[in-house]
Amino acid sequence: MTSPADSTTSRALAAALAQWFDRAGVQSPAAAVNLADVLHAAKQAEAAVQALMTLNAGDRTHAEQAIDELGKLHAWLFTEMKPHLAELEATWSSIEAPVVALLPDDS
């Protein structure tokens, strides 16, 4: 479960990324939100994995807890993270291009 503090941190990261992207000349306003959401989902997925690892995989008494954590992991990876990753991948060249353009010409 996401706490209000986690949501605030994710929004703050998205805002900071948006400012950085703007200064870099990136013309993809959604990129900052997508990247912040991917990173937030990754943290939540890691927490579900850590909780899962505390359970005895072969113990029937832990099966209900394990399926709960697996459900959380599935939701964070495939419902939350995957669409944001797909959007980032589709626009990644537009994120990199302005920064690449700043590199010195080697010729």
The predicted pLDDT at position 54 comes to: 96
Give tens-digit pLDDT for 57-97.
889 999 999 999 999 999 999 999 999 999 999 999 999 99
Whether pLDDT at 5 is above 70 = no
Decide which of 29 and 16 is more confident. Answer: 16
How far from 97 is each of 22, 84, 91, CA to CA, in Å? Answer: 13, 20, 10
**Pick from 52, 44, 31, 36: which is nearest to 78 by CA?**
44
From residue 87, alpha-carbon distances to 1, 46, 63, 74, 101 in Å are 24, 22, 35, 19, 22
Residue 107 has pLDDT above 60, yes or no: no
CA distance 104 to 52: 48
Binned at pLDDT 50, 70 and 90, residue 35 comes out as very high
Supply the pLDDT for residue 27.
87
